[in-house]
Homo-oligomer: A and B are copies of this chain.
């Protein structure tokens, strides 16, 4: 997850729009059929639910996040990531626009 782009992927033309555009992402499908989303979260505080376990990779930006209803707030910046279990949620407070990759880890 180090380099600055993904190669040989399929990307859907239609984006995912959440919270009136505060979060926008596109779906990526890799040659091995794994899926990821690639997107941006603009400044603000949002809560996302998870179906399957996820790893949120922060490409650039600054935020605090806490996992589940009782999680502790932790700060994350570009190059860091956090793991969210399935059937859970995370709250994210973005202070500098977050460019992220969401890796679905049950595949």
The complex is assembled from copies of this chain, and their number is: 2
**A6-50 CB contact bits vs B (8 Å, 1 = yes)?**
111111111101001110101011000000001110100000000
A92 contacts B by Cβ under 8 Å: no
Tally of A interface residues using CB under 8 Å: 29
Partner of A13, one of B5, B8, B15, B24: B5
Partner of A11, one of B13, B21, B28, B40: B28
> Closest residue of chain B to A44, judged by CB?
B21
> Closest residue of chain B to A7, judged by CB?
B10
Question: Which residues of A does B touch, CB under 8 Å?
Answer: 4-15, 17, 20-22, 24, 26, 28-29, 38-40, 42, 59-60, 97, 99, 101
